[in-house]
Amino acid sequence: MELEINGKSYPVESDADTPLLWVLRDELGLTGTKYGCGIAQCGACSVLLDGRVIRSCVTPVAGVAGRKITTIEGVEDDPAGRRVVAAWVAHQVPQCGYCQSGQVMAATSLLKQSPQPGDDEIAAVMTNLCRCGTYNAIHATVRDLVNGGPSPEAEKARAEAARASNRDGGAHA
Amino acid sequence: MNNPEEIATTREFFPSGELPVNLSRRRFLLASAGVSAGAFVLGLGLPLGKARASGASEAMAPGTRVPAFLEIRPDNRIRFYSPFNEGGQGVFTAMAQIVGEEMDADPASFIVDNAPTGHQFQVVNGRMRITGGSMSVRSSYMTMRRLGALARSMLLQAASKRLGVAVDKLDTEPGRVVHAASGKSLTYGELAPQALDLPVPAPDSVKLKNPAQFRWIGKPVKRVDAYAKSTGRAQYTIDIRVEGMLHAAVQHAPRLGMTVGTFRNEAQLKAMKGVHSVHRLPGAVAVVAERWWVARKAVDAAQVDWKEAAADASARVMPADFSTQAYREQLLRAKGEGETAESAGRPGKALDNAHTVVDATYWSQYLHHAQLEPPSTLARFHADGSLEVWVPNQAPDMFQADIAKKTGLDPDRITVHSPMLGGFFGRHFLYGPGVPYMQAIELARATGRPVKLIWSREQEFLRDPMRPMSVVRFRGGLDARGLPVALEAVAVTEGASEGVANKRRGKVDSSAVEGLAGKAYAIPNRRIAQLYMKTPATLAYWRSVGHSMNDFFYETFLDELADKGGQDPFELRLRLLEGNARLTHLLRELADLAGDWKRGPFTAPDGSRRARGVAMASPFGSQAAAMAEVSIENGQVRVHDVWQAIDPGSIVNPAIIEAQVASAVSLGLSETLLEETVYEHGMPVARNFDKYRILPPDRMPRVHVRIVESGAKMGGIGEPPLPATPPAVVNAVSHLIGRRIRSIPLSQHEFKT
Ligand code: FES
Ligand code: FES
Q: What would the pLDDT profile of B251-300 be if each residue is shown by its tens digit?
A: 999 999 999 999 999 999 999 999 999 999 999 999 999 999 999 999 99
| Sequence-distant (≥ 6) Cβ neighbours of residue B589 within 8 angstroms | B625, B645, B706, B708
Which candidate from B7, B18, B702 shows the least CB-CB separation from A172? B7
CA of A24, nearest ligand number: 1
Given this structure, which CATH class describes domain A76-167?
Answer: mainly alpha
> What single letter denotes the amino acid at residue B362?
Y
Q: Is A35 in the pocket of ligand 1 (CB under 6 A)?
A: yes
Q: Which whole-number Å values give the CA distances from B647 to A53, B363, B575, B576, in the listed order?
A: 41, 28, 20, 19
CB pair distance less than 8 Å for B292 and A26: yes
> Using an 8 Å Cβ cutoff, are B454 and A36 in contact?
no
| Position with higher pLDDT, B5 vs A23 | A23
Q: Is A142 in the pocket of ligand 1 (CB under 6 A)?
A: no
CB pair distance less than 8 Å for A96 and B88: yes
CB pair distance less than 8 Å for A104 and B230: yes
Would you state the torsion angle of the CA atoms of residues B19, B392, A59, B692, taken in this order, to the nearest 10 degrees?
-150
CA dist., res. A18 & res. B427, Å (int):
30
Q: How confident is the model at residue B506, as a pLDDT?
A: 72
Pairing of strands A68-70, A2-5: parallel
Q: How confident is the model at residue B58, as a pLDDT?
A: 53
Atom 4 (ligand 2): residue with closest C-alpha? A130
- Does residue A155 belong to the interface with chain B, where contact is any CB pair within 8 Å? no
Q: Is A44 in the pocket of ligand 1 (CB under 6 A)?
A: yes
Name the residue of A37, A53, A101, A129 to mutate for ligand 1: max ligand atoms within 8 A of Cβ: A37
CB pair distance less than 8 Å for B663 and A95: yes
Domain boundaries, chain A: 2-74, 76-167
Q: How confident is the model at residue B118, as a pLDDT?
A: 95
Q: Which of B640, B644, B613, B612 is nearest to B717 (CA)?
A: B644
> Using an 8 Å Cβ cutoff, are A6 and A71 in contact?
yes
Q: Which of B452, B439, B437, B436 is nearest to B248 (CA)?
A: B452
Which candidate from B422, B664, B700 shows the least CB-CB separation from A96? B422
CB pair distance less than 8 Å for A171 and B664: no
Q: Which of B746, B717, B741, B696 is nearest to B620 (CA)?
A: B717
User: Which residues of A fall within a CB distance of 8 Å from B4?
Assistant: 28-29
Q: With a CB-CB cutoff of 8 Å, which residues 46-65 of chain A face chain B? A: none
CA dist., res. B33 & res. B569, Å (int):
65
CA of B371, nearest ligand number: 2
Q: Which of A72, A31, A83, A136 is nearest to B642 (CA)?
A: A136
The whole-angstrom distance between A113's CA and the closest CA on chain B is 21
Q: Is A130 in the pocket of ligand 2 (CB under 6 A)?
A: yes
Q: Which of A132, A151, A154, A20 is nearest to B660 (CA)?
A: A132
Q: How confident is the model at residue A171, as a pLDDT?
A: 46
- Does residue A153 belong to the interface with chain B, where contact is any CB pair within 8 Å? no
- CA-nearest residue to B371 within chain A is A131
The whole-angstrom distance between B539's CA and the closest CA on chain A is 20
Tell me the Ramachandran region of residue B698: left when phi exceeds 0, alpha when psi lies from -120 to 50, beta otherwise. alpha
Other CB atoms within 10 Å distance of the CB of residue B153: 23
Name the residue of A25, A45, A49 to mutate for ligand 1: max ligand atoms within 8 A of Cβ: A45
**Residue B172, CA atoms < 13 Å, CB-side half-sphere:** 25
CATH for A2-74, options being 3.30.2420.10, 3.40.50.300, 3.10.20.30, 3.20.20.100: 3.10.20.30
Q: How confident is the model at residue A55, as a pLDDT?
A: 98
% of chain A at pLDDT higher than 90:
94
Tell me the Ramachandran region of residue B660: left when phi exceeds 0, alpha when psi lies from -120 to 50, beta otherwise. alpha
pLDDT, averaged per 10 consecutive residues of chain B (753 residues), comes to 30 28 35 30 32 51 95 95 96 97 97 96 92 92 97 98 97 98 97 95 95 97 97 98 98 97 97 97 97 98 95 83 97 97 97 98 98 98 97 97 97 97 97 97 98 98 98 98 98 96 87 98 98 96 98 98 98 98 98 97 97 98 98 96 98 97 98 98 98 98 98 96 98 98 96 82
CA A88–ligand 2 middle distance (angstroms): 13
> What single letter denotes the amino acid at residue B46?
L
The whole-angstrom distance between A100's CA and the closest CA on chain B is 6
What domains, with CATH codes, occur in chain B? 4-230 (3.30.365.10), 237-306+375-454 (3.30.365.10), 334-366+467-748 (3.30.365.10)
